[in-house]
Chain A
């Protein structure tokens, strides 16, 4: 059982390394970074306690929001999905990404206290 899992994972990684364009890999690295930051914040909250609860929430929501926006950007940029986003050019996707981030950070900074 574990053998097949390992083989699946290694196959997946191989495919990923070869067939994904570089741009998407850049975004994936960014996604990984965001996820790790969020996970570490959550770990801190579990271990030490929720003392400035609003700060924790704001940080965590920032991570989650950024992750979601980056995923959206990745989906919209992916040339394989071009058929579904005919009206949205990659530049437009990036501009939306920027704008949404501005709003997100406004809220996050407001809440961080």
Chain B
């Protein structure tokens, strides 16, 4: 008994099947719907009502120049018993699956093809590992081929999508090409394969890029734990620990010492040094549940080293002294055996030990206390009495000035009532008024505008006035000089 593929009745209820059948039994108008109808009903295990009529419909609607049409016709005719559609492919679509099975578009094996791995290169180093390596045809393979979903990446074209769903692609007796890549003992990592099919000039889509991952197992060598005095007075005490055992004695380190861990990571099979993505040293305090994780860095010789300076790192430990379990964590995408290894116990002593408070981790994600906005405090102003007093005080010298002027005999007896004088004084007063208005209402631009108008008027008037005064002064001087001259005579 051959194994049966899953069919829709395994998943759908009877009413659903009936509904589906009703949908699929609708009369079809074109080849596509005919295909869906025929193939769908055959999957449900229902025979198409009018097989001959359908066959004739398919043959009449076939368009030999369209691949889509050919496909629908071919598939539909296969589902109907006793219907044969003759077709001739002008193009042979080559289907390459990741496991190197080469068929044409309807899963007929192409034994006339030859498959060549044109190149294979490691992704990280871009170095070529293989070049022009041929695939060999595997003979007499009789097994049910279940098309692997991962193998088909180009899902834009409908043809590929169909094969994605196809679970019972027919048995291959030959047509599987294989290449043993692991025989060339590649190092672990990612490889980019470029595969090509040759053999017929009609081949289309006969080139594909594949990504292959080679994984490996890692082994830890030379794990050394040592406690070194900071001032190098005593030599380091080194203890070697073998994986997966734990060091028997616990290590002690206080503020004066450094605790160091060195180790090497190698490939188990080849002994090549590895640099995985994750190499962490985790210190876990058993009592408080606190853990601190550090990264171990490799040096130039790929030797991993981690040094813990207790005094320097005390903030990360919150200065909580005690016994910490030291774990080594190694992981990578290409490792088959990631490692979590409890290497040893370390007793750390910190200076200025604070009382271990409650662990803050739990309160990390609760809403933080609300911050009240503090508006800027207005500046402290002196009491009004003081400022009023000083205002009066500052204005008082003006009185003094008036008194002095009066005593000196300053007067305005020379005040001529000519229009320019009056205008000047009005303009001057207006300027002072403008200053006050500027202080209370206006901005610089408006003030400048008004000032330009008032100022020019004042200037013209003032000029006239001063000119008149000058004339008068010169006349007075001349007359006084004349008088003096006359008196001298």
Do the two chains belong together in a single complex? yes
Which residues of A come within 8 Å of B, CB atoms?
22, 25-26, 29-30, 32-33, 36-37, 40-41, 44, 48-49, 51, 89-92, 94-95, 98-99, 102, 105-106, 109-110, 112
User: How distant is the Cα of A98 from the Cα of B193 in the complex, in angstroms?
Assistant: 93
Candidates A33, A95, A99; contact of B400 at CB < 8 Å:
A33
Among residues of A, the one whose C-beta sits closest to the C-beta of B407 is A29
Instruction: Report Cα–Cα, A41/B451, bound state, in Å.
Output: 28
B455 to chain A, nearest CB (A): 7
Q: Let me know if A33 and B397 touch, CB within 8 A.
A: yes
User: Which residues, 75 to 129 on B, are CB-close (under 8 Å) to A?
Assistant: none
B386 touches A36 (CB 8 A): no
- Which of B400, B428, B455, B469 is within 8 Å of A36, CB to CB? B400
Distance between A17 CB and nearest chain B CB, rounded to angstroms: 11
**Which 7 residue pairs are nearest across A and B when measured between Cβ atoms?**
A33-B401, A91-B466, A29-B404, A36-B397, A44-B390, A48-B382, A33-B397
Q: How far is the CB of B210 from chain A (nearest CB, A)?
A: 76
A81 to B53 Cα, complex, angstroms:
131
Min CB distance B480 to A, Å, is 13
Give complex CA distance A94, B451 in Å: 19
Taking CB as reference atom, which chain B residue is nearest A89? B470
Q: How many residues of B contact A (CB 8 A)?
A: 36
Residue of A26, A41, A89, A109 with highest tally of chain B CB at under 10 A: A109
Q: How far is the CA of A83 from the CA of B207 in the complex (A)?
A: 106
Contact present for A109 and B397 (CB under 8 Å):
no
A22–B408 CB distance below 8 A: yes
- A102 to nearest B CB, angstroms? 6
Contact A29 B405 (CB under 8 A): yes
For the residues of B in contact with A, the DSSP-based class is helix
B249 within 8 A of A: no
> How far does the alpha carbon of A40 sit from the alpha carbon of B404 in the complex, in Å?
19
Partner pick for B381 among A51, A95, A106, CB 8 A cutoff = A51
Alpha-carbon gap, A40 to B397, bound state (A)? 9
Given contacts A29-B404, A51-B381, A109-B439, contact A102 B455 (CB under 8 A): yes
Q: How many angstroms from the CA of A40 to the CA of B392 in the assembled complex?
A: 10
- Bitwise interface map of B from 391 to 415 toward A, beta carbon under 8 Å scored 1, else 0: 0011011101100110011100000
Is the C-beta of B40 less than 8 angstroms from some C-beta in chain A? no
Given A30-B401, A106-B447, CB of A112 within 8 Å of CB of B387? no
16 other contacts beyond A90-B473, A102-B455, with CB at 8 A cut-off?
A33-B404, A36-B397, A37-B398, A40-B390, A40-B397, A48-B387, A49-B380, A51-B380, A51-B382, A91-B473, A92-B466, A95-B466, A102-B431, A109-B435, A109-B439, A110-B438
Cα–Cα, bound, A33→B397 (Å):
5
A91 touches B387 (CB 8 A): no
> What is the CB-to-nearest-CB distance from A100 to chain B, in angstroms, rounded to a whole number?
13
Q: Say if the beta carbon of B463 comes within 8 Å of chain A.
A: yes
A residues less than 8 Å from B462 (CB atoms): 95, 98
